[in-house]
Amino acid sequence: MSVSQKPLLEIRGLQTWYPIKKGLLARTVGHVRAVDGVSLDLHRGETLGLVGESGCGKSTLARTVLRLERPRSGHVRLNGQDVLALRGSALRNFRRTVQVVFQDPQASLNPRHTVLEILTEGMLVHGLTTRERRREAASRLLADVGLPDDCLDRYPHAFSGGQRQRICIARALSLGPQVLICDEAVSALDLSVRAQVLNLLQDLKARHGLSYLFITHDIGVVQHLADRIAVMYLGKVVESGPAEDVLASPAHPYTRLLLRAVPVIGTPLAEEAAATEATPEDTPQGCPFAPRCPLADPACRAAAPGLAPLPADPARLCACFKAPSAPSSP
């Protein structure tokens, strides 16, 4: 896949911390480092898979990019424009350009609104349609996601989980975005429905020229969807690179753990994959993965490795002192 040289979305050194308060006066005694110095690029027409177990900071990163959370520091740029500094009409335009599909379609749809109202509310606010023509606009959106016109006057409770997620995708498309953030968009769906929605997202990407930031805890989901993969652990990116290379020869022990956790028929789960999940409150000194890493030594526990190119492949980055010069198989 060819991408433009200049990234569409640039994230640099992003930090989103939450205070830990204790005592009668609720004094701040520490911070949960949900996102801790993350830098990522998303190019036009690209799908970037952001992978990591629950609690690693993936959704917080998405919410910070969407301006739903306030970062402690860092920069987010869209088309070279500083997203965190936007106000007024500029912020309003940004809301159109970057849309999101959340994990739970039932919770993200207003149960008191019909599908017609759900799909056209944003369009009316932004002046993209009129009340007289909104039914026609909503019909086109439903056709885009493979749903019939007779859905327009029904309420969310009348649909299955897969159909509700298609409605959420149609709503996200209603404002003509350039970037679509899919935050665990298929994790609540059955396997067969999940495959259908993933195929739909691929089709919509080609048809509308979209760029995806696809967030998931299941690295197996992004195997046929992502162009590049970034792996997060305890608020940091620990490995990134072309999807095919990362999946075929992971360089970081945590990436290998995630791949071993993908169920394969007839193959028992590795003991390593059953390790207890860590949380941002437990961030240790040194390498954050050291307490769970079979390769860790005293040097790993004393200092945290930075994200650096692999000697054998500069297009791939890895934050590990033990990273091989030639990546190994999972």
pLDDT at 150: 93
13-44: per-residue pLDDT in tens? 999 999 999 988 889 888 899 999 999 999 99
C-alpha separations of 300 from 7, 33, 127, 199, 318 in Å: 33, 20, 55, 41, 14
Give the pLDDT band of residue 4 (cuts 50, 70, 90).
very low
Would you tell me how many other CB atoms lie within 10 Å of the CB of residue 313? Answer: 17
For CA atoms 211, 247, 194, 11, give the dihedral sign: negative
Task: For residue 279, give both structure tokens.
Answer: 């949380």
143-152: per-residue pLDDT in tens? 999 999 999 9
246-301: per-residue pLDDT in tens? 999 999 999 999 998 877 666 665 544 444 455 666 667 889 899 889 888 998 99
Q: What is the pTM of this model?
A: 0.90
214 close to 59: Cβ distance less than 8 angstroms: no
pLDDT at 145: 96
- Report helix angle 161-173 to 134-144, nearest 10: 120
Q: Domain limits of the chain?
A: 44-65+87-318
- Name the fold adopted by 44-65+87-318: Rossmann fold (3.40.50)
- List all residues 6 or more positions away from 21 whose beta carbon is below 8 Å from its beta carbon: 27, 28, 29
Separation of alpha carbons 250 and 323, rounded Å: 9
Separation of alpha carbons 302 and 65, rounded Å: 32
Would you tell me how many other CB atoms lie within 10 Å of the CB of residue 47? Answer: 24
Strands (E), 83-193: 98-101, 179-183
187-214: per-residue pLDDT in tens? 888 888 999 999 999 999 999 999 999 9
The more confident residue out of 239 and 260 is 239
pLDDT at 2: 47
User: Among residues of the chain, what percentage have pLDDT more than 90?
Assistant: 72
pLDDT at 326: 45
**Of 133-142, 172-181, 267-276, minimum mean pLDDT range:** 267-276
User: How confident is the prediction for the chain on average, in pLDDT?
Assistant: 90
Question: Residue 261 corresponds to which amino acid?
Answer: A
**Any idea what DSSP says for residue 186?**
T
Separation of alpha carbons 226 and 61, rounded Å: 18
Strands (E), the chain: 9-22, 27-42, 47-51, 73-78, 81-82, 98-101, 179-183, 211-216, 228-233, 236-242, 308-310, 313-318
